[in-house]
Amino acid sequence: MKKISLTLLLALTPLFILAQDSYYIKESRITVGIRIVDGGEISNSKVCLVVTGGKVVELTPYDVDEYGFGNRVYFSEKIKINDSDKRVFLERLVAGAASLYYYRAPGITLFFLRKFDGRLIEIPPPDTRLDKKIQIEILRDLTEDCEHTSDIAELVSYNKKSMVQFVNFYNNCKPGHFAYTRYGIVAGVSANRFSPAKNTSSQYLSNINYSLAPQFSLGVFVDRPVFPGDFSYNISLYLSRFSENHYEIIDNQYVSLVVNSTSLQMPVLLRYTYPSLKIRPFLNAGGSLWYDIINESGIYKTNTISEENNIIELPYSAPGLGAGFSIGTGVEYKFNHRNSLFLELRYTKKYGIGSGDTYSILLNRAGIQLITGINL
C-alpha cells in the first residue's frame, strides 16, 4: 500500500507543480503557494524574487535548484563566463529529446543545449565569421541523428525565436519549412494608369484621357519571419523608370502631359506563405511609399490655329512624393534549403501627395505588376 501511495505521489507531483502559479525546489523539496516576481530576463537569470511577508526576498542559484512561474521555468546551473565558472539561473525554452536553455546578463546572451546524456553544451554567439562556422558545426554535431537538421543549421539566427524553432524541428525530426530571414533581388514590369488626384485644380489634368503605360523596376528585398513562421514582413526597395506622353485637344489646342520620372519605391507588406516543402503559394498586403528622385514632367500646349504653331511650356511643378497600398498573390519554388524563386502578381494604388494648387501636377497611379525575384 505504501508503494502504491508513493508511486501516485511521484506521478502527481509534476501535475501539482504545473497547477501552481509559482514554485521553487531545493534539494528535492518543493515549495508552492508562493508569489514570484518577474524581474525581467537579466534579473531572472541572477535571482529568484519571492514575495514573503510583504517583502521581496532574493534567492540565488545557490539557494534553490529550480523555480518557475507562469509558463517559465529556471534551473540553477554552473556555466563558464569570461573564463570563470559561475552558477546562474538558465531559462528552459524547450523540453524534449534536446532541451534548450537561455541565459541573459548585461552585454551577454547565451544559449545551451542538453540531450539525454545530461551534458550542457554552450552554443557560442556568432560574433565573428569563424564563430558562426563553429556554431553551425556544433548544431550539426548535436543533431546529427536527425537527417533533416544538417542543411538548416546554417540558417539559424542567434535569437530565441530561431533557436526554439530549430530545436523543435530537431525534436520532431520531420521534413518541413524552416522560417528564417531572407534577402534577395527583385525585378518587375507593370502596366500603370494615371488619374488626377481629387484635390488637383488643373483643368488640363482633368480633361486628359489616360491610357495604360509600362513601367520597369529593379531592386532588393528582405523577408523577415513573424513567429511562428508562416507570416513574414516583406520589405522591398527598388528603382522604377517611367516615361509616358498623354495629350488631348482642349479649346482648339493640343495639350500634352509628358511624364519622365525615376522613382524610389518601398512596399512594406505582411506576407502569409503556405508552409509546403517545394512549391509554396503566398498572399501579401500592405502599404507602399514612393519618391521621384528624378522628375522631368511637364505640361505643353500647341496652338493648332496659329500658323506659327508655337510650343508653349506651362509653368507647372510635379510633386514627387506618394503613398498607397499593395495587395498580391504568387507562388514560390524552393531549389534547396536556402535559395528559392518566386513569381507574383500584385495590384498597387499610389496617391500623389501635394498642395493641389493651380501650378502643380498632382496625379494618382494604379496598376498591375508582375514581379519575380530570388533570395540568395
CATH (domain of 293): 2.40.160.20
The amino acid sitting at 210 is Y
DSSP SS3 for 161: helix
Residue 117 forms part of a structural domain: no
Cβ 114 vs Cβ 101: under 8 Å = yes
Ramachandran angles phi, psi of 180, nearest 5°: -155, 165
225 upstream amide cis, omega within 30 of 0: no
Cross-strand partners of 294: 262
Q: Which of 142, 84, 83, 68 has its CA nearest to residue 111?
A: 142
Cell numbers 546529427: residue:
144
pLDDT at site 356: 60
Question: Which of 157, 175, 193 is where one domain is finished?
Answer: 175
What is the mean predicted confidence (pLDDT) over 183-202?
A: 84
Residue 278 forms part of a structural domain: yes
Query: How many angstroms separate the CA atoms of 375 and 373, rounded?
Result: 7
Instruction: Indicate if the pLDDT at residue 12 is higher than 60.
Output: no
331, three cell numbers: 507562388
Cross-strand partners of 29: 26
What is the mean predicted confidence (pLDDT) over 53-72?
A: 94
What pTM was estimated for this model as a whole?
A: 0.74
More confident residue, 314 or 53: 53
Instruction: Indicate if the pLDDT at residue 72 is higher than 90.
Output: yes
Cβ 226 vs Cβ 269: under 8 Å = no
Residues 7 and 135 in one domain: no
Query: How many angstroms separate the CA atoms of 194 and 248, rounded?
Result: 14
From residue 207, alpha-carbon distances to 245, 250, 254, 323 in Å are 14, 8, 12, 24
More confident residue, 20 or 340: 340
Q: What share of the chain is helix, strand, coil (3-state, %, to 5)?
A: 15, 55, 30
Helix (H) / strand (E) element for 12: namely: helix 2-18
Residues 44 and 103 in one domain: yes
pLDDT at site 317: 64
Residues 141 and 16 in one domain: no
Residues 281 and 362 in one domain: yes
Mean residue pLDDT across the chain: 85
Cβ 69 vs Cβ 36: under 8 Å = yes
Residues 41 and 138 in one domain: no
Residues 163 and 234 in one domain: no
Based on the structure, what is the number of domains in the chain?
3
Q: Which residues contact 146 (CB under 8 A, 6 or more apart)?
A: 170, 173
Q: Which residues contact 236 (CB under 8 A, 6 or more apart)?
A: 186, 219, 220, 221, 265, 266, 267, 269
What is the mean predicted confidence (pLDDT) over 37-48?
A: 95
Residues 253 and 371 in one domain: yes
Query: How many angstroms separate the CA atoms of 161 and 167, rounded?
Result: 10
Domain that holds residue 38: 2-109
Give the pairing type, strands 311-314 and 363-375: unpaired
Residue 114 forms part of a structural domain: no
Residues 170 and 194 in one domain: no
Q: Which of 71, 90, 99, 92 has its CA nearest to residue 167?
A: 99
Query: How many angstroms separate the CA atoms of 204 and 207, rounded?
Result: 5
Query: Which of the 8 DSSP states describes residue 147?
Result: T
Window from 195-199, 256-260, 312-316 with minimum mean pLDDT: 312-316
Residues 86 and 12 in one domain: yes
Residue 329 forms part of a structural domain: yes
Residue 208 forms part of a structural domain: yes
Residues 238 and 359 in one domain: yes
Question: Which of 51, 85, 109 is where one domain is finished?
Answer: 109
What is the mean predicted confidence (pLDDT) over 194-221?
A: 81
Query: How many angstroms separate the CA atoms of 159 and 111, rounded?
Result: 9
pLDDT in tens, 248-262: 777 777 788 888 888
Residues 204 and 169 in one domain: no
More confident residue, 355 or 159: 159
Cβ 354 vs Cβ 172: under 8 Å = no
Neighbours of 346 (CB within 10 A): 21
pLDDT in tens, 118-128: 899 999 888 87
b or e along 316-339 (b: 16 or more beta carbons within 10 Å of the residue's beta carbon)? bebbbebebebebebebebeebee
Residues 270 and 162 in one domain: no
Using pLDDT thresholds of 50, 70 and 90, give the confidence band for residue 376: confident
Residue 119 forms part of a structural domain: no
Question: Which of 58, 80, 109 is where one domain is finished?
Answer: 109
What is the mean predicted confidence (pLDDT) over 53-79?
A: 95
208, three cell numbers: 486628359
Tell the burial category of 254 from Cβ atoms under 10 Å away from its Cβ (0-12, 13-18, 19+). middle
Residue 306 forms part of a structural domain: yes
Query: How many angstroms separate the CA atoms of 57 and 45, rounded?
Result: 15
Instruction: Indicate if the pLDDT at residue 9 is higher than 70.
Output: no
Cross-strand partners of 373: 186, 342
What is the mean predicted confidence (pLDDT) over 232-237?
A: 95
Instruction: Indicate if the pLDDT at residue 312 is higher than 90.
Output: no
Residue 115 forms part of a structural domain: no
261, three cell numbers: 520620372
